[in-house]
Structure 1
Amino acid sequence: MRHTKKYKVQTAVRIIVLWLFALICLAPFYVAICYAFKSKTEFAKTKLAFPTTLYLQNFVDAFELKNYFNSVKNSAIVAICVVILIVMICSMSAYIITRKNNKFYNFIFYFFQMVILIPFQTIMFPLYRELYSLHALSTLWGLIFTELGVYMGYYIFLYAGFIKSVPIALEEAARIDGCDRYQVFIRIVFPLLKPITMTVVVLCFLASWNDFFLPLIMVQKDEVKTLPLMQFFFFGEYTSNINLAFAASILSMIPAVAVYFCAQKYIVAGMTAGAVKS
């Protein structure tokens, strides 16, 4: 009886703590909704109260902001290109590193993992000087390849853990049927990587779409600014109309939320598949 009561108390405490964390995480979204769906008049009267009527003119005005659609286009180009390159390069790299189990490829694998441990702030200024010498500042291709280099190590790690769970017998059977290593990867291995590939697509798209720090130090021209960077200047330029700035913020979240909900069922499978050896 005592153990039952103790268990119920512990469960209740855990639930309360989880609800508190959930409320803390949801508080910024509630504030954003309260601000974005209110007119200036209603906002002046009640700042944190839920809107009595949904005022959609803020979203219409956000669409009409200067360079807003251009920043959306830039973010989409960068995110899509980075995702495609990450999937292609990291899947093939992880496959070779995993199957060629020798000292040289192990060194390459651990080298990529060491890159993850280096704080970006320590390479920020050398990276800026290097990009300046390559004339890659304020260019989309410079931003794409910089994000590619920053993200590669982590996604090679994810792919390598998943590929280790793929039976080698399938590849050996394909080799017997006349497939070379490239055909084995494309026709046999890569289709089996769908769970981890969807996980990588979601995580990489979210990271690139929401990336603020890299564009901040690399981009100065308005026509090359990405959406998070434009959001930063929205809150500086439109301080007199903060409702408009929050409406633009909510619009910027829609693609990321849509991508996550479309592929969320693959994330857990992709992240945990390499945890247990078959």
Structure 2
Amino acid sequence: MKKQAQVSGALKTVGLSALLATIVFPFLLLLLNSFKPNQQITSEPLALPDSFNLDNYRNAFDKMSFVSAFSNSLIVTIVSVAVIGLLAAMTAHYFVRNAGKVNQYTFFLMVASMIIPFQAIMIPLVKIYGTIGMLDSKWALIYMYAGFGTPLAVFIYHGFVKSIPAELEEAALIDGCTRMQTFFRIVLPVLTPTTATIGILNVLWIWNDFLLPSLVLVQPEERTLPLSTFYFFGTYAVDYGPLMASLILTVLPILVVYLFAQKYIIQGVMQGSIK
């Protein structure tokens, strides 16, 4: 039995190592090619770079207007995540504590909206909002992210709010708190693990999203980081070196955030499974 356990453990280690290599290899290949000139990238994509110079990164930093694009991505991501989290928590709390027929149907409609693919509505979306002049602004983009991200967040919050005893809120009301104070001082702190999980998942989605910003943002000064990588695509050629460097610059901030925040995702998922 002991030998079988050792063999089983070794097979699991080999399998997980192979899976890790499969996941890490594309990023490693991107990183290595970001230090090569275009000729070496096209002729020897799997080879090590001759020298680790930063010319591609300097070119990418200047051409993609990294500071401006980073600021736009940061504003859009932070504001969108904050709005989604606050609105979803309040909506889910209202649905749970006021479980009437109308609220139940509204909740089911919000959940049902998640099955509609974005590609099915993107053309009417652009046409309608373009007609009323709500395109080409990061604030319009934030508004759309709030609309698309809130249903899933409400669905996740809804299950957690149901696990909070109503007596806890009633005690706060008896002590003199208003309903708004009860929500922000009692309910919202209890939802912290869920809020962290929803926030991190939305950060990963919004920061890396390309399709919706490409439909909404037109002016170069409004572009986010994923859109700025298009500066290296020409009509007949692609500037591969700076393009690889720009992708690393785009992915690196969110990768660092994820590495530090992944424990909150696991904590939120585990707490949800227990409840």
Q: Shared fold by TM > 0.5?
A: yes
Give the partner amino acid of 1:98: V
Residue 241 (structure 1) aligns with:
239
Distance in 1 between residues matched to 2:239 and 2:19, nearest whole Å: 30
Q: How does 1:1-150 map to 2 (within 5 A)?
A: 5=4, 11-39=9-37, 43=41, 46-51=44-49, 53-150=51-148
Aligned 8 A contact 2:38 2:240 in 1: no
Other structure's SS at 1:127 match: helix
- My pick for the range that moved more, 136-145 or 8-17, is 8-17
Distance in 1 separating the partners of 2:31 and 2:230: 18
Offset at residue 213 of structure 1 (A) = 0.8
Partner of 1:159: 157
Code of the residue aligned with 1:50 in structure 2: it is L
> Following the alignment from structure 1 to structure 2, what is the Cα–Cα distance between the partners of residues 125 and 240?
28
Alpha-carbon offset, residue 22 of structure 1:
2.2
Query: Structure 2 vs 1, CA of residues 188 and 98 (structure 1 numbering), >3 Å: closer, same or farther?
Result: same
224-233 vs 183-192, which moves further: 224-233
Structure 1 spans left out of the alignment, 5+ residues = none
Question: Secondary structure of the residue that 2:106 maps to in structure 1?
Answer: helix
Measured in 2, the distance between the counterparts of 1:46 and 1:224 equals 36
Does the CA-based 8 Å contact 1:158-1:271 persist in structure 2? no
CA contact (8 A) 2:64 2:231 kept: no
Distance, in Å, in 1 between the alignment partners of 2:145 and 2:127 is 16
Unpaired runs of 5+ residues, structure 2, are none
Question: Quick one: structure 1 residues 40 and 125, their matched pair in 2 at CA, closer, same or farther if it must change by over 3 Å?
Answer: closer
Deviation at 1:256, TM superposition (A): 0.8
1:111 and 1:157 map into 2 onto residues whose CA distance is 11
Could you tell me the percent identity over the aligned residues?
36
Calculate the aligned-residue CA RMSD, in Å. Answer: 2.4
Aligned length: 275
- Provide the rounded CA distance (Å) in 2 between the counterparts of 1:147 and 1:92: 17
1:212/1:228 contact within 8 Å kept: yes
Q: How far does the alpha carbon of each residue in 1:103-137 deviate from its partner, in whole angstroms, 9 at most, with x for none?
A: 22221211111111111111112111111122112
Which residue of the partner structure matches residue 226 of structure 2? 228
- Give CA-to-partner distance per residue, 1:155-205, whole Å, 9 cap, x none: 111212222222333212212211121111111111112111111221111
In 1, distance between residues paired with 2:58 and 2:171? Answer: 58
